[in-house]
A and B are shown apart, each in its own frame.
Chain A
Amino acid sequence: MATLTVHGVPKSFGKVAVLHGIDLSVADGEMIVIVGASGCGKSTLLRIVAGLETATEGRIVISGADVTRLEPAERDIAMVFQNYALYPHMSVFENMSYGLRIRGVPKPEIARRVQQAAEMLGLGALLQRRPRELSGGQRQRVAMGRAIVREPKLFLFDEPLSNLDAKLRVAMRAEIKRLQRRLGVTSLFVTHDQVEAMTLGDRLVVMNQGRAAQVATPMEIFARPADTYVAGFIGSPAMNFLPATLTEGGLGARIADGPVIRFADGPRPGMAGRALTLGIRPEHFALGGPLPLTPDLIEPLGSETVVHGRLPSGQEVTLRLAGMPASLGTLEIGIRAEHLHVFDGETGLRMDAQPAAALTPAWQGG
C-alpha cells in the first residue's frame, strides 16, 4: 500500500538524453501503464523507479519517503521482467522464496506465503520444478509469484507479456489485472502494446521521445488525445490526419483541396488561414458526404470492413465501416463532425473549442 511520486527525472546515457524529466503522481493501489514506441524511454523510467538506473537529477518518492539514493533492495519493490529473469538453478519454490529468505523471514511464514501465492497462480503442483521445465506462461506466473510473496509497496512490470504468444498474452493480461485489483498494490506497467495499455491501466502515461505526451485515463486519452502523437498511437487502425486551415471566425476548417467542415463543439482560436491538422478515427467517417474516396485496398473482417483509399488531394485515408459497402467504386464519405479532433498544424497540440462564454474577442490573440 503505497503512493509513488516521480519529480522530474531526466536521464542521459553519455550525451544521449533518454528522458527529459517526467512528473508523475501515482495514487495508492493505482495501476499506471507507461506506453510508447520502443526507445521512448519508458523502460528507463521504470528502471529509475526500481533503482537499477540512477536519474541524472530529480527525486523518486515512495509513500512519502525519498528513495532516490537508495539501492533497489532498500526500496521495497518487486519487478517482473520481460524475460522473467527467474533463477535457472533454483526450483519454483526457491525462486519465489529467495527474497524472503534473504530478508530472514521465518521458514513457516515463507512456506505459508509461497503456498498462498502458488495457489492463487495455479502453480501448486509445480513448486519443485526448475524454470526450464516450465512453459512460457508458467514461467510468467512464477515471476509474478516471486513478486507477490514479497508483499512489496510497489509492483513494477517491464513488458512482462511480450514474450508470450497472442492467446496466452490475452489470458495473462486479464490475470494480471485481476491480481492487481485483488492485492491492491500500486503498480507501474510498461508496454509498447496499446491494447495492453488500454485494458490494464487505471491511467496511462503515453511517452514520446523521453517526454510524457499525456497522462490520463484510457478513455480520456482515446477521446481527447493531447497531441497528434498520442492520437496516432492509441487506436487501431490509427487515426487519419488531414491538413486543413481555419476558416473565418474559427468556426470550421477547410480541408486541403476539399470542403469546409463546421466544428460541432464550437469555434477554435486563431486567425483565418491558421494551419490545422484534423484528426478523424477510421470509425468516425460516414457514408454519404462531400469527400470522394477512391478505395485501393479493402479488408473485410466480417462484422466490419477496413477500407484504405485516397482523397482527390492524394491524401491517404483509412475507414472502418460496419458490414460491407454495397459498391466498391468511389465512395462518397463524410466526417462526423462531433468526433473531429483538431490539432495545431505546427505544434501538433490539441486545440479545444473555446468555452461559449469566452466566445467574443478573447480568441483574437490566437
Chain B
Amino acid sequence: MRKKVIFPQVGLPYLLLLPQLAITFVFFFLPAGQAIWFSFLRQDAFGIRTEFVGLENFVELFQDPLYLDSVWITLVFSFWVTALAMSVALGLAVLADRHIRGATAYKTLLIWPYAIAPAVAAVLWIFIFHPQIGLLGKFLNGIGVRWDYKLNGTQALITVIVASAWKQVSYNFLFFLAGLQSIPRSVLEAAAIDGASPARRFWTVVFPLLSPTTFFLLVINLTYAFFDTFGVIDALTKGGPAKATSTLIYRAYIDGRVNLDLGSSSAQSVVLMLAVIALTAVQFRFIERKVHY
C-alpha cells in the first residue's frame, strides 16, 4: 500500500526535496554535464586553444586498439570479480546460516573487510601476493612457480581480481545471509520430508528462492567491478604491467589526470556513464518486476 500524504501548500514538498536535489545537482549533474561538454571539445596540451570537434573524440576512442583492449580487460575483470565475490559469499552465507557455535563472531569477522578502505585492502594483498615479501608470492616462487604480478600481466590481473572480489564478499555475504534467513524453515523441512538431500534442497529450493537477491547482487557487483575498483587497482598495479590491468575507469583517470587529454577522458567518462545508466536501468526494470515469494 502506498501512503499518500496530503500537503496543505504546494511549496512544501519541493522544499523538502530541495536538499537532495541540490546535492545531486552539484555533485552529479554539473560534473556530468561538463564531462559531456568536454567530450565534444579538443584542447591542446597546454590548454590554450580549445576547439569543438563533435563526435571525433568518440570515433577515435573506438578506433584505438588500446581502448578496445581496455574494454576487453574490463569485461574479463568484471566477470571474474563478480563470479568470485558472489560464489564465495554465497558459500559462506550458507555455512553461516546453519546453526553453528559462534555464529555471531563468525558473521562479525566476515563483515569486517567491507569496512576496510580500498588502499588498505590493497596493501594487505601486497603482503600476500608480493613475490619477495608476500606470503603466497614467496611460497609460489619457493615451489618453482615464477610469480611476479609486477611483470606478468595475467598474474597482475589475477591479483587485482582477487583483491577486488575479497572486498565485495562481505557485502554479498550480508545480502545472501538475509536472503537465506528469509526462506521459511518449514519449506526446507517440507523438502527434507519429501526426500531431498541437502545438495538437492539447495539447488531446487534455496537457490531459486534466492534469485531476487542473486540478481540484485549481480547488478551491484558488476557496477562495483566497473566503477568502484579504482582504488585497489591504483594501489596494487597502477594499471600495469603494460596496461594489463588498466580497466576503463583506470584509463579514463590516466588519460584525463595524468596525460591531460581532457577531450578523450571526457568521452571515456561519457561511455562509462552510459554503461552505468544501462546497468541501473536493467536493475530497476527487473528488480521492480522481481517475483516476491
Q: A residues engaging B (CB < 8 A)?
A: 50-52, 71-73, 77-79, 81-83, 85-89, 98-99, 102-103, 132, 146, 150
Contacts and interface: CB of A to CB of B under 8 A. Distances in A.
A72 B193 contact: yes
B195 A102 contact: yes
Nearest to A104: B195
A78 B187 CA distance: 13
B111 interface: no
Nearest to B196: A102
Interface in B257-292: 291-292
B184 A85 contact: yes
B193 A78 contact: yes
A335 B255 CA distance: 101
Contacts of B196: 73, 98, 102
A71 to B, nearest CB: 7
B208 interface: yes
B209 A79 contact: no
Contact of A98 (B191, B197, B209, B211): B191
B146 interface: no
Contacts of A81: 186, 189-190
Contact of A73 (B195, B208, B291): B195
25 contacts: A52-B189, A73-B193, A73-B195, A73-B196, A77-B193, A79-B189, A81-B186, A81-B190, A82-B186, A83-B184, A83-B186, A85-B187, A86-B187, A87-B187, A87-B205, A89-B211, A98-B191, A98-B204, A99-B194, A99-B195, A102-B196, A102-B200, A132-B292, A146-B194, A150-B194
Nearest to A75: B193
A81 B188 CA distance: 11
Contacts, number: 63
A172 B193 CA distance: 23
B147 to A, nearest CB: 45
A71 B291 CA distance: 32
Interface of B: 184, 186-187, 189-197, 200, 204-205, 208-209, 211, 291-293
Nearest to A79: B193
Contacts of A86: 187, 190
A96 to B, nearest CB: 10
A99 B189 CA distance: 12
Contacts of B192: 52, 71-73
Nearest to A52: B189
Best-buried of B195, B200, B208, B291 by chain A (most CB within 10 Å): B195
A86 to B, nearest CB: 8
A150 B196 CA distance: 13
A71 B197 CA distance: 10
Contacts of B190: 79, 81, 85-87, 146
Given A87-B205, A89-B293, A73 B186 contact: no
Nearest to A99: B194
A89 B195 contact: no
Contact of B194 (A52, A83, A98): A98
A109 to B, nearest CB: 16
Contacts of B200: 102
Nearest to B197: A73
A76 B291 CA distance: 33
Nearest to B183: A88
Nearest to B205: A87
A82 B193 CA distance: 15
A89 B211 CA distance: 10
B186 A85 contact: yes
A62 to B, nearest CB: 13
Contact of B193 (A50, A87, A89): A50
A132 B204 CA distance: 18
A146 B194 CA distance: 9
Contacts of A51: 193
Contacts of B209: 88-89
